[in-house]
Structure 1
Amino acid sequence: MSLLDTLNQDMKQAMKNKDKQKLSVIRMLKASLQNEAIKHGRELNEEEELTVLAREMKQRKDSLQEFEKAGREDLVAGLQDEIAVLTPYLPKQLTEEELHEIVAQTISETGAASKADMGKVMGALMPKVKGKADGGLVNRIVQQQLS
């Protein structure tokens, strides 16, 4: 079942349950997916859907950090709810140990030896962990292993 089909089913269920928060988040996500499909001029494949989903999650996490810094607890609670609604649609996230293994393997595959090779490593690594790990965490682990 595609992500759009799952979202449609969950949207119907949210309507029946009168869950306005979940309904709103699902509608925003569907709109983002449909806008991306229009931009590409075709249906999205699974990887493209994952990219849109990851982008939506990243936007919310970035906003959450900013609101926490500004002390806007009223907005923090709403964003945490939105993140909770989006999380089940993301693939299972990799643990730090799994990331360390993948990074080490990619470094050996690319023959990277120093931080100067960081771009080469990240270019090879990101497609492997796309949607399964936070880019900032991946970046930090690569820097640790290349130093």
Structure 2
Amino acid sequence: MSQTIKEKVLEETKAAMKAQDKERLMVLRLISSEFKRVEVDERIVLDSTRELAILDKMQKQRRDSIEQYKAANRNELAEKEQFEIDVIQSFKPEALSEAAVKDLVAAAIKESSAASIQDMGKVMAILKPQLQGRADMGQVSAIIKALLSGQP
């Protein structure tokens, strides 16, 4: 049986403690605490899809912070956020290429018989489990809109 993301984070946390890698340890503890917070708040046990969704959300928050820090000319804080993104990314599956995402989107459009942008929700419902953690859902959304509106 393969390890869950939560188990990998715990394992990496122990390794970071032994190596006295304080920056990485801090990020790993943030990830663990977010997993624990969701489990306690919602009274659930996380599955791999939900773990990936949490990691995606954490990355998005950090990307937003980087934009704000760069706008405020706070590059040292932007670099810290980028380091956190890199650590979070290490627990996610390899990202799909744009061509692979377009192929999956086209297949989902065909499967859902989507004909216009009003059918976008049907397409997203099919794609979300397949692409969670493997593609930026904002970019996926843009690809869907382009294909449904007849653009290449």
TM-score of the aligned structures, taking structure 1 as reference length:
0.92
Distance 2:55 2:66 in 1: 17
The Cα offsets for residues 55-112 of structure 1, whole Å up to 9 and x where unpaired, read as: 1112112212222233221211101111111111011111100000001111111111
Letter in 2 for 1:17: A
What's the counterpart of residue 94 of structure 2?
92
What's the counterpart of residue 55 of structure 1?
57
Distance 1:5 1:111 in 2: 39
Mark the CA change 1:68 to 1:141 in structure 2 (over 3 Å): closer, same or farther. same
Using the TM superposition, give the Cα deviation of residue 136 of structure 1 relative to its aligned residue in structure 2, in angstroms: 0.9
Letter in 2 for 1:23: L
Note the 1:47-126 alignment, pairs <5 A: 47-126=49-128
Distance 2:50 2:114 in 1: 29
What's the counterpart of residue 29 of structure 2?
27
What's the counterpart of residue 129 of structure 1?
131
Using the TM superposition, give the Cα deviation of residue 22 of structure 1 relative to its aligned residue in structure 2, in angstroms: 0.2
TM-score of the aligned structures, taking structure 2 as reference length:
0.89
Alignment RMSD: 1.4
Deviates more, 1:64-73 or 1:8-17: 64-73
Letter in 2 for 1:89: F
Where is the helix percentage greater, Structure 1 or Structure 2? 1
Is the contact made by 2:49 and 2:129 (CA closer than 8 Å) also made in structure 1?
no
Deviates more, 1:26-35 or 1:53-62: 53-62
Using the TM superposition, give the Cα deviation of residue 32 of structure 1 relative to its aligned residue in structure 2, in angstroms: 0.4
Structure 2 unaligned spans of 5+: none
2:9 counterpart (2, 7, 10): 7
Structure 1 unaligned spans of 5+: none
Aligned-pair identity (%): 35
Using the TM superposition, give the Cα deviation of residue 21 of structure 1 relative to its aligned residue in structure 2, in angstroms: 0.8
